[in-house]
């Protein structure tokens, strides 16, 4: 895994740090720790919590954006409380190389597939939803092309349509990506998200979420994803919010209502 650590450094180096749990000791009692081995080679670390009501509508799997927070992004920003308060079980996990998960290859979609299979076991009779933000959304689109995934409906938020279009904003990472593309041209085609989404399987629907002031993943990316999506889909946008930060924007209440409304409809 040393090779993967070196290859990932230009992309994720500053985010691969020791993870900090934002939950108090009392709050941690609500969460069950577990781990899953992914085809990527990573041992993924995760947490499961039941709906606050005790009777759940569905289980929601959360795929985090790129960052030091990893799965804590959802814990710190109120997503898990929002979902649990509205009748949903929740699973949060670290993609390989982030948070508490071990470093493995770049096939993050395999991590999402593996975690979906495990998440389903906590409540086999309930539908499974997914909410992926940025990195978690981008590779969610690839995970949904895999026959093995068991997600029924999904929110894809602030996701880039391809690696090239995202990393062009970061010169060193972009140059490294071009070298990898040269030596691995077939892999580039396999992970061209906006084209691969045409092969999505099993999903009933997708809600795409974007911000009009997000320069890393502009609304035009959401439009392209929606146009290529073979299942029922909608595009919801907010006028202004930083990349992957709609929960901290002035549109937070409308945003939260849109999330719950979508999940309530999809899980009914």
CB 266 within 8 A of CB 129: yes
Q: CA 137, CA 160: separation in Å to the nearest integer? A: 8
Full-model pTM: 0.95
CB 200 within 8 A of CB 231: yes
Q: And the tokens for 243?
A: 């990349």
Q: CA 186, CA 204: separation in Å to the nearest integer? A: 29
User: So what's the pLDDT on residue 164?
Assistant: 93
Q: Give the SS3 label for residue 93.
A: strand
Encode pLDDT of 70-101 as tens digits.
999 999 999 999 999 999 999 999 999 999 99
User: Confidence class of residue 1 from pLDDT cuts 50, 70 and 90?
Assistant: low
Q: How far is CA 115 from CA 36, 42, 108, 184, in A?
A: 7, 11, 11, 27
Encode pLDDT of 42-53 as tens digits.
999 999 999 999
Q: CA 237, CA 17: separation in Å to the nearest integer? A: 32
Q: Residue 12: which H helix or E strand, with range?
A: helix 2-12
Encode pLDDT of 122-169 as tens digits.
999 999 999 999 999 999 999 999 999 999 999 999 999 999 999 898
User: So what's the pLDDT on residue 3?
Assistant: 61
């Amino acid at each position: 895994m040393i090779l993967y650590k070196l290859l990932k450094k230009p992309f994720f180096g500053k985010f691969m740090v020791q993870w900090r749990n934002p939950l108090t000791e009392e709050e941690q009692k609500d969460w069950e720790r577990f781990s899953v081995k992914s085809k990527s080679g990573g041992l993924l670390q995760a947490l499961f919590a039941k709906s606050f009501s005790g009777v759940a509508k569905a289980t929601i799997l959360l795929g985090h954006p790129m960052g030091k927070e990893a799965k804590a992004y959802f814990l710190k920003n109120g997503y898990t409380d929002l979902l649990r308060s509205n009748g949903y079980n929740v699973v949060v996990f670290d993609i390989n190389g982030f948070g508490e998960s071990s470093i493995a290859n770049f096939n993050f979609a395999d991590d999402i597939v593996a975690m979906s299979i495990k998440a389903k076991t906590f409540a086999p009779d309930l539908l499974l939803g997914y909410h992926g933000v940025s990195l978690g959304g981008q590779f969610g689109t690839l995970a949904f092309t895999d026959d093995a995934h068991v997600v029924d409906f999904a929110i894809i938020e602030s996701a880039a349509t391809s690696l090239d279009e995202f990393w062009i904003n970061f010169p060193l990472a972009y140059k490294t990506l071009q070298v990898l593309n040269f030596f691995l041209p077939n892999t580039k085609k396999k992970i061209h998200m906006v084209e691969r989404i045409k092969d999505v399987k099993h999903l009933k629907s997708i809600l795409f979420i974007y911000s009009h002031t997000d320069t890393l993943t502009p609304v035009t990316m959401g439009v392209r994803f929606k146009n290529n999506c073979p299942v029922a889909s909608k595009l919801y946008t907010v006028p202004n919010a930083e990349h992957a930060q709609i929960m901290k924007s002035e549109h937070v209440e409308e945003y939260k209502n849109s999330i719950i409304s979508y999940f309530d409809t999809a899980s009914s």
